[in-house]
Structure 1
């Protein structure tokens, strides 16, 4: 349990865009270091020991233009011991305790630069994983304008390295988006939402054992899920932001390990969602509550014109069964000033973009992929995909340029955010089935018709909520690159053990 912390006393930090170290042949080159340092997370907390990119948590924002490739050297300068409890029972116990590899989440990236989990490396590349390819990563940036994010993806360590602070925003811009007269400049604000728990001395608190741990469990032992008891936005606990009475664009990322959010405003005013994981929607969607699974992004516009001089709160709906002691129903405070510094000429366009449907493509494969629960030799929860562990042979091998439908059959008791590397996909439908009967005899009996995706899910996605007792169907065209990628649940405690599978995209014959 974190110490009692007063809300809304720290100003919301804005992560500045990093400048390239050099430019050669019109290609920007960056060097970004991973280091250990201390950062103040709240006015009343001592500085917290964290790991960050370029000595900040979250890391610096990387801003690029569509079609302009960049190179990044991700430089591991971390110590040899982790600041969080490392469970050596879940993967090879001989692996280095501190290993990292950065993944650009949502990026259409050649596989040697994708951040494959076994392409990890240690400080100064003294040790490297079996899939390590290169020190300098290449990002073509040929995809639609959107907000992606970069984070650590090392095998078996993703939950710990991200919790320690290794995450940041990556924004791709294009000419079309600039022509829409959306709020921009200081009126466009990225919000990276995370949950954390702290000790009295300001250090990060992360469990060494599950709550119901037995004496037979390893110590430390991985936990099946983790939710912190404080909410951070851009690295501050329950901050406040000052805005003018005008329209603002917020680029929101759920960068928590396990926690999902249901965001709304205390004023009950509408939130206009204009984009999702893969960029702009076809048209704005008026929302009262926006649900976000781990790693999902939403692009929204909020108009504060009617709220001059008021204080609003961005809230998180915890549901009817929330504990009175749980304070994570607040995210941040918004203070609206009395006047404008300049006229608001931004708009919320009626049409945003064109999204061609993949339904007319030739479908070369339809894959049924089961999300299942089991247990390991210690009796700990072991969540798997198609009952296979990470190191078993690759079973998903789409060809470059082909279109497939994947059906995520969730037979567990809770929602999983499913993420596929390399591509942006489209959601087709969700269909409920009798989970009790499935658990009894393994048969799929539908209990209702297919349900169309929500209006704000009808754009490009790279992560989708797969609810318990539903089959969630998505359609994707694989490419433009071949190579070794992965697909997994983006609850970080799940993907570390062992809800992640290799994906091999192969060249056509």
Structure 2
């Protein structure tokens, strides 16, 4: 249990925008060091030992232009011992270096050798110890739509620990088309990276060594099936406040938590105007009183404070009807409409935002039914799998380059999984409920309700989607522009690490 910390006493930090080290004929070149450092996360907490990109938590924000490639040299300067408990029984981790990293730019259409393949990790002293297929310099083409991506660690078997230690940051692609919409910009556009953490009394990160109900035979440390911190952190501050002017603001919201999903609302009763999702702008603005955000999902929203001069507004997290009323995670941060209007607000909330051509018109070359299943391991721990296969089983999904496929995600577990597919942005087709009790008896999928279209907020480009329990969630994707080895997985990091991640290979049939 974290120490009791007063809310809304620290100002929201804004991550600095990273500048390139130099520019070359191939575009801007950046160098980013992963290092251990200490950072004060709350007024009343001692500085917390963290890992961060360029000694920051969260890491600095990349701002790049569409169709302008960049190169980034990711350098591991971390210590040889981890600051969090490592379960050596997962993915042969006990036989690997304790501290390993590899960076994944989440949502990026990137060649496989720059995608952050989980086994392409490297250590401090890269040249001597890194696997032969790992590399430090990554190339990001940025040829996709303007959007907010994020970068985070993706090392096999310890992603949950590396991200929890602080290895995450935002990456924003800009375009001229988006600028023409006159959305709130500059200091009125703010990233909000929301995470949950738990702390010890000395300010250090608290993360469980074993599940609460650990059996005597469990490894110690042992991976836990989920992690919910008891403290909310936004942009590296615990329950911060932000002073705003009485005008419109654009917030690029990212759920960077390991397991926790958020149901966001404003206690003023006003609406969010959602203009974008994982893959950029929606077709039309969607007015919402509450927005659900699963781990790794991004939502792009406008909030209008123009009629709230002198007021305070709390962004809340709806924990549900049966939640403990004293649970502090029901609040995220506070907005104080106390700054004077610096100039007239000429920004807009457009009704029409962008064109999103449907992939349904494409020739569909494969329809895959992929089950999200639960089992147990030799220690009777939960073992969640994709299509009942483990990471090291042979690759079974081999879409052809340029092919359009439908993936039906059949969730036969009893909770939602946020599913992320690397390389591509996909579209959500629909969901349909089935009788889970019947499935558990005889293994048959019997539908129990009609097909429902995706929510208006899900009708853009997505790279991570909520696949609810006892439902079939169908997505459609064109597998391009690169061939090679990629992965798809649940983005609950405790699930991804063990063993809810699978490789897939995009193949060129002509080769």
Q: TM-score interval w.r.t. the shorter chain?
A: over 0.9
Say if 2:66 and 2:143, in contact at 8 Å, map to a contact too: yes
Name the counterpart of 2:415: 414
- Within 1, Cα distance between the matches of 2:466 and 2:131? 31
Say if 1:75 and 1:124, in contact at 8 Å, map to a contact too: no
Name the counterpart of 1:292: 293
Residue 379 in 1 paired to residue 380 in 2? yes
Q: Can you list the C-alpha shifts for 1:85-121, whole angstroms capped at 9, x where unaligned?
A: 0000011121111000000000000000000000000
Residue 438 in 1 paired to residue 423 in 2? no
1:127 Cα deviation after fit: 1.7
1:19 Cα deviation after fit: 0.3
1:474 Cα deviation after fit: 0.1
- Within 2, Cα distance between the matches of 1:503 and 1:354? 29
Give 3-state SS (helix, strand or coil) of 1:306's partner.
coil
- Within 2, Cα distance between the matches of 1:499 and 1:130? 25
Name the counterpart of 1:394: 395
Residue 221 in 1 paired to residue 222 in 2? yes
Name the counterpart of 2:67: 67
- Within 2, Cα distance between the matches of 1:495 and 1:127? 25
Give 3-state SS (helix, strand or coil) of 2:252's partner.
strand
1:26 Cα deviation after fit: 5.7
Give 3-state SS (helix, strand or coil) of 1:359's partner.
helix
Say if 1:367 and 1:407, in contact at 8 Å, map to a contact too: yes
1:494 Cα deviation after fit: 0.0
1:325 Cα deviation after fit: 3.0
1:129 Cα deviation after fit: 3.2
Give 3-state SS (helix, strand or coil) of 1:89's partner.
coil
Say if 1:116 and 1:131, in contact at 8 Å, map to a contact too: no
- Within 1, Cα distance between the matches of 2:299 and 2:458? 10
- Within 2, Cα distance between the matches of 1:130 and 1:94? 17
Q: Can you list the C-alpha shifts for 1:402-441, whole angstroms capped at 9, x where unaligned?
A: 0000000000000000000000000000000000000111
Indicate the RMSD between aligned Cα atoms, in angstroms: 0.7
Name the counterpart of 1:174: 175
1:321 Cα deviation after fit: 1.1
Stretch moving more, 218-227 or 20-29: 20-29
Matching residue within 128, 131, 138 for 2:130: 128
1:135 Cα deviation after fit: 1.9
- Within 1, Cα distance between the matches of 2:80 and 2:351? 53
State the number of aligned residues: 508
- Within 2, Cα distance between the matches of 1:305 and 1:386? 50
Name the counterpart of 2:31: 31
TM-score (norm 1): 0.99
- Within 1, Cα distance between the matches of 2:339 and 2:96? 57
- Within 2, Cα distance between the matches of 1:35 and 1:338? 36
Unaligned runs of at least 5 residues, structure 1? none
Matched ranges for 1:202-281 at <5 A: 202-281=203-282
Name the counterpart of 1:81: 81
Give 3-state SS (helix, strand or coil) of 1:123's partner.
coil
Name the counterpart of 1:355: 356
- Within 1, Cα distance between the matches of 2:38 and 2:384? 35
- Within 2, Cα distance between the matches of 1:424 and 1:218? 38
TM-score (norm 2): 0.99
- Within 2, Cα distance between the matches of 1:349 and 1:293? 26
Residue 197 in 1 paired to residue 198 in 2? yes
- Within 1, Cα distance between the matches of 2:244 and 2:290? 21
Say if 1:399 and 1:478, in contact at 8 Å, map to a contact too: yes
Residue 461 in 1 paired to residue 479 in 2? no
Say if 1:187 and 1:247, in contact at 8 Å, map to a contact too: yes
Give 3-state SS (helix, strand or coil) of 2:125's partner.
helix
